[in-house]
Structure 1
């Protein structure tokens, strides 16, 4: 496991419940995104997370015949990508913040992947691809899984760094992915999501909370909000932003650090104190992080036990 970094104090983070709009021009997108980043930065946030597929409001700038053609739209969307990257890099530098951009279907290796670009406050650019695809992505959209996970080391204004990893939507529902990130030093799991129902949102929320519990770290959930009948790609999206932690010493008893309102766009901005989660790893009522190896190796293959025969009908 990678050694912990020094963190001088609480870190202010922002989880975006971002609404899909029908745009008249690229300038509309640039104005909107600038307003969002400026707002979070003015409120002191150092790490801003946008939802999965948030940039797909750019579909409104494509020809009408492509707006419901989920496979046909993928290649034309690449035309916006250079300006998309340049805009985020400029905003990260201008406001001295780190940005997890809304994930984008990016052409890669002869196919398309769901990629969340990450921008440091000096404009450094990296990314995390989604690794596990939903049925819609795999069967209808033909979006392919990426490869590998990354842990991002964010320098903080007060000194020290914050290490975080990203689990895009469905990825948050699989323990091993978050475990690799935590063992790589991540103390915050960022979960951008696009879910078309309360059931889908609940799966990602429960997954985020479970990953926070198992790894005794924070999880930040940023959901997409959409009522966009003009595109099949993201016509309905529902959720509420949230920030979660293990329910233990010094942390909320229900594991909910902060929770946004249902389908309400805006930033959920919260200060996270990683000394609390570190203390829980050392001295919690339970030690999930310490016990992760034995928890994975102690159980053997399940044995089937037949509990007798069925009773005779009365």
Structure 2
């Protein structure tokens, strides 16, 4: 490596680069002196796929290159060697309409190794793969150090020892560190490759943004806007007054282009004032009579304001049993019910509520979401099962009377965001409610929590409302950041679970 470098440049290969390209290629493969592309080959390659050919220049000198084709996935799946995949070195296998970016060559001049220039080439390839909406990058990597171990172990054993870092291979170790994974071993891949004993390792990098069915309309969104409603408990004369106040907030968050409106747990409790002369258990059962009319009206709001509404929760009577439920009212006019699974001692003692027995993720036009009511988020098993089903956003309508209760909901929600690599949005009620037994005071701070990695806020808090003040909180969350986290995060809490030792599963699935 030279001692002083003034400029490093990464760009597309041009035919004028050929002489320097040839020289660097020969010096990069001293054991295969005749293995370099001719000028006619490079000219042909540039004519069919110019954007796929990359070079690294150091102070104007070509010191590395990455050459690629686009090939059909079926061709990659078939047993093949280098001659076949390159179309007998004519590049006739290239197909602009295919799905796989196939690497046919990559090298760095020996004098410039150790500068991570190869990483730059691979990062540029990955960016190209994403820009062209290709499914994956695939190539067959040499294993040049295998020659020293061929008498003692099989290629499979060698690859496993390189993967576990018991052995080092200058090519394979580099590929594995760049998020490539092994597909299979290929025998007799490159004629004359004595260092690898003509074995190669077929490697793949998956494009997590690949869309196999691009559409012009109704595309799944990556930036999702959440509208959280921090609801002030106040006396209401009737259910129409509740609808009027709810519609005001739906109008507000819809006006800002929100995809979801989240209401708190039991935000309809002010309607219970009419039944305050009854026992607490009787009063809440009377309140349950409003649940179906509220669901129907919120379905209308979802359509007319073009927004998905999570109705917090409300009491619901079914076969004589009282449940705490809510509704996901989608903007397409449909609705689905969710039920609180874990009932607090207070709900049991004062109201005689029962916990539900079904929970699931919900498909929306913004991807899969989960909804858990208040106390449920304090049980890590439920969000983990939803994460296993593909949940990206967890909504938690809650109701807490004191700061102690809110602290439990807040910190458990933050933990769920980190451990399940998802966003968690919480919204609760604030203020006081005279003349309604068991619903006197409320404490809340609506928030959106995130995982804790470099792409997210360092404290894991995307946004917070002012505590104990009626307001809305409007927040954008980026699903692409979750995809990056799942695949390339500093830690991978979902992938790194020891499922060989433990598992969590639904008993009723």
- What interval of TM-score do these two structures reach, taking the shorter chain for normalisation? 0.7 to 0.9
Return the offset for 1:219: 0.2
Asked if 1:33 corresponds to 2:246, the answer is: yes
Of 268-277 and 283-292, the range deviating more from structure 2:
283-292
Partner of 2:476: 271
Partner of 1:65: 277
Partner of 2:351: 141
Partner of 2:268: 55
- Structure 1 SS opposite 2:474: strand
CA displacement 1:195-218 (0-9 Å, x = unmatched)? 011010000001100000110100
Partner of 1:74: 284
CA displacement 1:120-156 (0-9 Å, x = unmatched)? 002211111000111101222111001121211111x
2:418 to 213, 216, 220: 213
Return the offset for 1:80: 1.9
Of 78-87 and 29-38, the range deviating more from structure 2:
78-87
Q: State the alpha-carbon separation in 1 of the partners of residues 480 and 293 from structure 2.
A: 39
Q: State the alpha-carbon separation in 2 of the partners of residues 14 and 296 from structure 1.
A: 40
Partner of 1:231: 436
Q: State the alpha-carbon separation in 1 of the partners of residues 292 and 351 from structure 2.
A: 22
Of 241-250 and 230-239, the range deviating more from structure 2:
230-239
Q: Which blocks of at least 5 consecutive residues in structure 1 are unaligned?
A: 156-160, 299-314
Partner of 1:307: none
Partner of 2:407: 202
Q: State the alpha-carbon separation in 1 of the partners of residues 473 and 367 from structure 2.
A: 19
Of 220-229 and 77-86, the range deviating more from structure 2:
77-86
CA displacement 1:280-308 (0-9 Å, x = unmatched)? 1111111111123449639xxxxxxxxxx
Partner of 1:89: 299
TM-score norm. by structure 2 comes to 0.54
Return the offset for 1:110: 2.1
Return the offset for 1:43: 0.9
Q: Is the 8 A contact 2:314 2:326 kept in 1?
A: yes
Q: State the alpha-carbon separation in 2 of the partners of residues 248 and 51 from structure 1.
A: 29
Partner of 2:86: none
Q: Is the 8 A contact 1:55 1:102 kept in 2?
A: no
2:450 to 245, 251, 259: 245
The verdict on how the C-alpha distance between 1:139 and 1:89 changes in structure 2, with shifts beyond 3 A counting, is same
Q: State the alpha-carbon separation in 1 of the partners of residues 324 and 276 from structure 2.
A: 23
- Which protein is bigger by CA-based radius of gyration? 2
Q: State the alpha-carbon separation in 2 of the partners of residues 293 and 190 from structure 1.
A: 27
Partner of 2:104: none
Q: Which blocks of at least 5 consecutive residues in structure 2 are unaligned?
A: 1-207, 212-218, 504-509
Partner of 1:310: none
2:387 to 156, 179, 182: 182
Partner of 1:309: none
Q: State the alpha-carbon separation in 1 of the partners of residues 268 and 459 from structure 2.
A: 33
Asked if 1:290 corresponds to 2:500, the answer is: no
- Structure 2 SS opposite 1:72: helix
The verdict on how the C-alpha distance between 1:232 and 1:296 changes in structure 2, with shifts beyond 3 A counting, is farther
The verdict on how the C-alpha distance between 1:196 and 1:271 changes in structure 2, with shifts beyond 3 A counting, is same
Partner of 1:302: none
Asked if 1:24 corresponds to 2:237, the answer is: yes
- Structure 1 SS opposite 2:417: helix
The verdict on how the C-alpha distance between 1:167 and 1:81 changes in structure 2, with shifts beyond 3 A counting, is closer
Q: How many residues align?
A: 288
Q: State the alpha-carbon separation in 1 of the partners of residues 258 and 337 from structure 2.
A: 20
- Structure 1 SS opposite 2:316: strand
Q: Is the 8 A contact 1:226 1:234 kept in 2?
A: no
Return the offset for 1:56: 1.2
Q: Is the 8 A contact 1:248 1:284 kept in 2?
A: yes
Partner of 1:281: 486
Q: Is the 8 A contact 2:368 2:393 kept in 1?
A: yes
Asked if 1:43 corresponds to 2:256, the answer is: yes
Looking at both structures, which has the greater relative contact order when contacts are Cα pairs under 8 Å and sequence separation is at least 6?
A: 1
